[in-house]
Structure 1
């Protein structure tokens, strides 16, 4: 167990290291569900993330250990909807590396996201979990952090 970590807002210079963790997250999801649900290219993801951070389209916070190791991250973006009564945040990715789980890192990343959202005037935070039942623990984590199931499923169509 470690409590020696800090949460820092990522800058464009952190994009490569965060992109590595994105790859780890996507690999973990695809391994659990047994299908190639995502395409991942480290170079392309790093470049996109750097651009998103530079243009403030994405807000990323990193959990950094005392030895400067990156333990996990949360990525957010701002959206607008009438049903949400205005601006709100969406958690695009939340990942804690397996060796650091169950050490309150995810909880602290969520707390940081809530503080950040309040500072931007967001009315709420939304998140979609990976597929269930493979990610029941993820759902339980979010519920413990105050998130409530609102129904429905996330759907997509390629453009």
Structure 2
């Protein structure tokens, strides 16, 4: 099967929202906890706004013209990172397309954007372990290394 990667447009917001919903549902099923709130309508509106204003970049992977997955990128700044860098807040490959190099293709295109934008690095947080050991191994194969700590949040 041939793969094509395209940058999402604001008109793709409904598709992006569906993919985010699938990702969050898979994580919550695997960990057995409602870790995320999800409103498809609100997610679609946010995606449309952020794709329009350029603060959120989404790469869509197509395998034989079927949507296989997506990777989202956002710009961050930190002194420890020596400037601007990219974060991957979401990456999801639909189960039927796993082990077809979809994730590798998406990360490869994200690396190209990293260089084009002059970012110093690319960071990602994996879902909870040990349920997502395979996800961690995938990122390590892509050249990511563990930089320590755990992801924490404060919800307001």
The TM-score by the shorter chain falls in which range?
A: over 0.9
Which residue pairs with 1:104 in the alignment? 101
1:66-122 CA deviation, whole Å, 9 max, x = no partner?
Answer: 2x2111000010000000000000001000000000010000000000000110000
Which residue pairs with 1:157 in the alignment? 154
TM-score by length of 1: 0.96
Q: Give the whole-Å Cα distance in 2 for the aligned partners of 1:103 and 1:19.
A: 23
For residues 115-126 of structure 1, what are the structure 2 equivalents within 5 Å? 115-126=112-123
Q: Give the whole-Å Cα distance in 2 for the aligned partners of 1:32 and 1:59.
A: 27
Q: Give the whole-Å Cα distance in 2 for the aligned partners of 1:43 and 1:117.
A: 30
Post-superposition shift, 1:64? Answer: 1.2
1:122-143 CA deviation, whole Å, 9 max, x = no partner?
Answer: 0100000000000000000000
**Partner SS for 2:147:** coil
Q: Give the whole-Å Cα distance in 1 for the aligned partners of 2:88 and 2:63.
A: 22
4+ runs of 1 displaced by more than 2 Å? Answer: none
For residues 6-155 of structure 1, what are the structure 2 equivalents within 5 Å? 6-66=4-64, 68-155=65-152
Segments of 5+ residues of structure 1 without an aligned counterpart are none
**Partner SS for 1:130:** coil
User: Aligned residue pairs: how many?
Assistant: 156
Segments of 5+ residues of structure 2 without an aligned counterpart are none
**Partner SS for 2:100:** coil
